[in-house]
Amino acid sequence: MALEARALVRVFSAVVVNISYRLAPEHKFPQSWEDAWDNLVWLVEHAVDIGADPSRGIIMGGTSAGANLAAVCARRAQVEPLAHPLTGQWLNVPTLLKEEQVPEKWRHLYVSMQQNADAAIFPASAMAVLQELTGWDMTSPWRLPLNSTHSLAGLPKTYIQVDGMDCLRDDGLLYDEMLKAEGVESRCDLYAGCPHAHATFVPGKAAERALVDVVRNFGWMLGQVVEEGVAEKALCL
């Protein structure tokens, strides 16, 4: 996340905060999620104190577990309004839903958990291990954004990234469809043949492509156009 954070500062003169939160197995569910929310509330309330201008936009995001935290916090902000509203969420290879939460017309497309069950990075079996370590309550709105009973309508602009060889691939693809169906401005990029969080774990051209896409789509969420060369320079590619 440090690479993306530095690039966002360079391109947008933004204040970027990488938050910390307590982890399992020492701190069980929902401690991490509560920490993420408390961080968000404090940062939004004290935005001016840390040199930020909330009128330019507030975006929360992350990769993998961080993307899940961001999505859950964006949903909570719908019912517990922040001092300044979120204007964007970046969800990179997120965990977002259960199969039964997918609308019937798209349920036949929810296949990545089976197709990529034996993926080299984050196989489906890892979910069972994490369940044991964290004590997830899969019915809680803290765990999955679709466990909230509030409509998806009204969520901020959303940028989703998914990897083709990831068991979580269809979480992102279908959440993108569900958001659009509710009138939310949403974009989704698919990196075919790439494993979970490839931009973090697998350096190379595909990783560089994903990083450039992050910077350019932060621009979209902030209402700015960022040329590819500008993003590459900011990322030192």
* Distance from C-alpha of 149 to C-alpha of 145, rounded to nearest angstrom: 9
Spatial contact of 7 and 215, defined as CB atoms under 8 Å apart: yes
Query: Per DSSP, which regions of the chain are E strands?
Result: 59-63, 88-92, 157-165, 186-195
166 labelled catalytic: yes
- In the annotation, is 125 catalytic? no
Are the C-beta atoms of residues 163 and 169 closer than 8 Å to each other?
A: yes
Amino acid at 74: A
Catalytic residue chosen out of the listed positions 32, 64, 112, 186: 64
Q: Which of 166, 170, 176, 213 is catalytic?
A: 166
Beta carbons within 10 angstroms of residue 117's beta carbon: 12
Catalytic residue among 163, 170, 176, 196: 196
* Best CA proximity match to 93, nearest among 76, 73, 69: 69
**Residue 94 token pair:** 């997120």
Catalytic sites, residue numbers: 64, 166, 196
